Structure 1
Amino acid sequence: MNNSSDGSVYTTPTRHVVTDPEGLVSRETTYRGARLHLERLVIKPPAGPNGRSRPGELVRDVVRLAGAVVILPILDDGRIVLIRNLRHAVNRTLWELPAGMLEPDEKPETCAGRELIEETGYRSDRVEYLASFYTTPGFCDEFMHAFVASGLRFVGQQLEADEDIETAVRTPEEVHGMIADGQLIDAKSILTVLLYESGIRPGRS
């Protein structure tokens, strides 16, 4: 557990590190952007059930990301702070929990505090680690860290130039209703809310 310069208390998760798959033949970067890059992996297929090698090679295109965080902000009265954000990839405005991508060499707990202020305008006295999980492991190595933020005080949003984010405060019951009726369909947000309320802490039995 760490203390930040502003007095917030953090529990530090382990940052994800990508390792080479077994049987890797070659790796080629096919695109490099500001926030992600694409790789083409050529891999020898694993041995069959009888231990015999299989012919040919597998080609897999994967997305590489530095990682990300999602934050569950809880006010002193138990209400939850949500954001409403335009997601260009799906061309929809979605209700979500605040979230964001890690900067190079940034610790997840530092990113959580930063994104919370930027997107909601709330500063937290306590940011607690909840869980980490892969978001889309079929084609992407994004590893997301979930945090719970409490002791909130409003200091004003600090949005980036291309962001237009609406905030709203809802009771837990209202959030459950939004999930049930399809208003809240963002997977990371649903998972984080349900993990917190269930008391389940993955990897910490």
Structure 2
Amino acid sequence: MSVAGKDGRRLPTIHGVTADDAGPYRMEWLDLEFDNGERRRYERLATRGHGAVVVVPLLDDDTVLLAREYAAGVHRYELGLVKGRIDRGETVLEAANRELQEEIGYAARSLRELRALTLSPGYMGHVTQLVVARDLYPQRLPGDEPEEIEVVPWKLDALHELMLREDFSEGRSIAALFITREWLRHGGK
């Protein structure tokens, strides 16, 4: 029996799932039947853990704090937002505040969850929660980074300059900044 999605459209029926664990990943193959009777086999990387957060730390409504840290995937130092896993037993907002303290040495008195972001929803189940952090104050927790992360203030009205930098390429950070800027422009509270 097929179930309707949030848009009312009937979701494909899953007739079976086979899986293979590969280190930190779980690969799944879904045997699907669509409403029109067509059957296909889809692959997906299943979600492990409790999700992730990406945090937009606002020094004020015009200035975001970026982190410059080593990115092994591209073997360079990359500018981006604070991000990390949500640990077992943590809420989204608790994880966001912990990551702020571990990565850039600030905590926030005001945290607002804006929305969920996906990376590649066609084949990955990973979801990252976008959180805006305001009313920041210095407070550091020990993190797992091997070196201190450089904190770079950036004006939101200069996002057009940031977008053209080679060392700012992470998709969640780009999306989160534009979403936050638009949210603020339209009365974000």
Structure 2 length-normalised TM: 0.78
Instruction: Give the whole-Å Cα distance in 2 for the aligned partners of 1:138 and 1:95.
Output: 27
Secondary structure of 1:180's aligned partner? coil
Within the candidate set 104, 111, 120, 2:104 is matched to 120
Whole-angstrom distance in 1 between the partners of 2:76 and 2:12: 35
Misfit runs of 4+, over 3 Å: 51-54, 161-164, 173-176, 180-183
Matched residues, number: 173
Alpha-carbon contact 2:44-2:125 (below 8 Å) kept: no
Kindly provide the CA deviation profile for residues 113-150 of structure 1, in whole angstroms up to 9, marking residues without a partner as x.
11011101001111111111212213221111111111
Contact 1:24 1:41 in 2 (8 A): no
Tell whether 2:152 aligns with 1:168. Answer: yes
Distance 2:157 2:43 in 1: 42
RMSD between aligned alpha carbons?
Answer: 2.5
1:182 to partner: Cα distance = 4.0
Deviation for aligned residue 1:91: 2.4
**TM-score, structure 1 as length reference:** 0.73
Secondary structure, aligned partner of 2:176: helix
- 2:117 is aligned to 133
1:41 and 2:38 matched? no
Give me the whole-angstrom Cα distance separating, in 2, the residues matched to 1:169 and 1:199: 19
1:100-115 paired onto structure 2 within 5 Å: 100-115=84-99
The Cα of 1:26 is off from its aligned counterpart by: 2.6
- Aligned partner of 1:25 in structure 2 is 16
CA distance in 2, matches of 1:115, 1:21: 37
Are the equivalent residues in 2 in contact too, given 1:39–1:64 (CA < 8 A)?
A: no
Write 1 or 2 for the structure with the bigger share of strand: 2
Of 173, 176, 190, which aligns to 2:174? 190
